[in-house]
Chain A
């Protein structure tokens, strides 16, 4: 009981400190630059310029889900209980940092993704083979809408005829053409985006996909016939309501929709920092053709990842446990 009280006292202090910091941020005149705070552009449109980030768990799974003990799990001692699964080898060494947070989901309506039966089977297969199949792990261009809610900031540079979106992940980018430029003759990872204003909402029609992207790490996917209609609406100068209507007759039985807020990164010095994942993914992709192999070892079709951990001398937890 005493412990619990001191726990909540700490929480109150932390909360007060947080509010104090927030007020300090607001009261400091130079803390947020004027351009970032302007609600409208020079041509009278809502101003989306700035650095933004989704703050949800959609990148794990668009759908509502409970937390899981690992990004990859295997059956535990109760093989028939899903909730009793344990972290599997690829993430085990990371302990509690390797789990998946729970989520209320971002799929509108009944929260279901209306897969055709064969597509539903493919989604399940994707999930079961996540490590081998997810293009994110290979650092492929993330596509849209996935790029919009990955756990990295992205920047919008809004001009009159073009809106440029620069993403941290994979140094990806997309250009939204407000001047109705004809699309390229070839399909793309990031799609061809045509924007228009409906009142104060930016509506973006995206087509021209190559069908190689996923929506999330749960194996949700689409085909090259994906047609997205995105809607960006300012809730206030520092939050956007982002909606995407998803139409793909090759994969889904009807259109469906995701929606979430995107939040402005209010740190006065915020800027995108590169996440050079092509380089980061090289060991994952090409480690097996090294001489000699470093982290993983392939023998025929089987990959072995050895995890060797030694408890450092003087570790208090293990010392106590040894008694």
Chain B
């Protein structure tokens, strides 16, 4: 199996900084925006975006974590997924919630995340920020903020490695062995 680096440490930082500025530009009022990281890869990215946005707005931006296992549409067709903590330490009603995930692929995780989020209240709007959009959508879902678009084939895999998970920051494309 061969690996190609798509983003290095610096490029990940640049992509997140740009996304933070785009969020700040789109959503003027800082106090009304909250970030929700989708378990697992989205959680550290949401925390980083919160830091960056906090710097831009000069005020802290709340971060939550969301596990979508209980809302997946393929339960019963596969072994039960590991359920990681969901912590939404704020009321989402009336807020602009930016869902943060590492990779956007079929869109099914995002669909489940929106359903899960609705159990916590009625956000004013939900936006989606992803580090990598690899295409192949199976649902009518589109990201509002994208770090990098990466055309892929189904046989390939995107690995997002982050310092928070004990690795060096990088995004790589793994070519599947045919």
A binds B: no
Using CB atoms and an 8 Å cutoff, list the residues of chain A in contact with chain B.
Answer: none
Using CB atoms and an 8 Å cutoff, list the residues of chain B in contact with chain A.
Answer: none
